[in-house]
Amino acid sequence: MPRQPEGSDAAAGPAHAIRTLTGRIRRSFIASVGSIVFGMEDGTVSIFGLVFGVAAAAPDSRAVLLAGGTGAVAAAVSMMAGAFLDVESTNDQAAARLAQARAYYEAHQHEQHQILHGRMISAGLSDSEAEAILGVVSKRPGAELNFAAAAGMGASEVTRKNPFVQATWMFSTDLFAASVPVTPFAFLALTTARIVSLLVTLVLLIFLGIGRGMIGRRRILPTVAETIVIAAAAAAAGVGVGKLIA
């Protein structure tokens, strides 16, 4: 048997770890894409309105940067907490439904066996195929109860999400999106920063609108227009308040 070159195991170790980590991040991203788009849209719209409201009355870019940066961090933390609590509550409700379904099906096991058999027949399986599937499932302790609960009430452990992962994605994407309209004020004079902030935010809103359309399988152009109109309304409200207070 040919010898492996020295150091090949050591080289394969980090490479495998990187591939594993990349795969986990990609799967996490796909599972959290709804939270990501929502977080980015919230961060963009809310801070865009805040920035332009302050910029309408601020004496210089520093004041806008301070208000926008503070608001961006506060909003991201708030959205992170909201996402965590929402996912945790959803998981608790799903667990409660699953426990209730399991208890019910355990008390009516024979009856539910017949119901599951009938559903499989209605789905196009033959009598023997349905019995074969149920026979395989029933051989594992508790498997038939889980199968019946999931089929009967849509309650399944598979639907549970990790609240820490969802909250992390929400925080990072909300903060990133919120920083887009704020960043120009860190480097440019007030008048120029307003224009640049408007342009870069418009580009981000277009991409967010496209993302919303793709995720929701909606028409792209109306969804992009809707996203921009919402942001424009937030900016107009911010400017109006800024003018009123000033």
Residue 102 pLDDT > 80, yes or no? Answer: no
Residue 201 pLDDT > 80, yes or no? Answer: yes
Whats the size of the chain, residue-wise? Answer: 246
If one counts every other C-beta atom within 10 angstroms of the C-beta of residue 92, the result is 11
Report pLDDT for 5: 52
Quote the pTM value. Answer: 0.66
Residue 70 pLDDT > 80, yes or no? Answer: yes
Give the mean model confidence (pLDDT) for residues 182-201.
Answer: 90
H-only helix segments in the chain: 8-31, 33-55, 61-107, 109-122, 127-138, 143-153, 163-182, 184-187, 190-216, 220-245
- Residues 125-163 have pLDDT tens digits of 777 777 777 777 666 656 666 666 555 554 445 456 778
One-letter identity of residue 187: F
- Residues 33-46 have pLDDT tens digits of 666 777 778 788 88
Report pLDDT for 1: 47
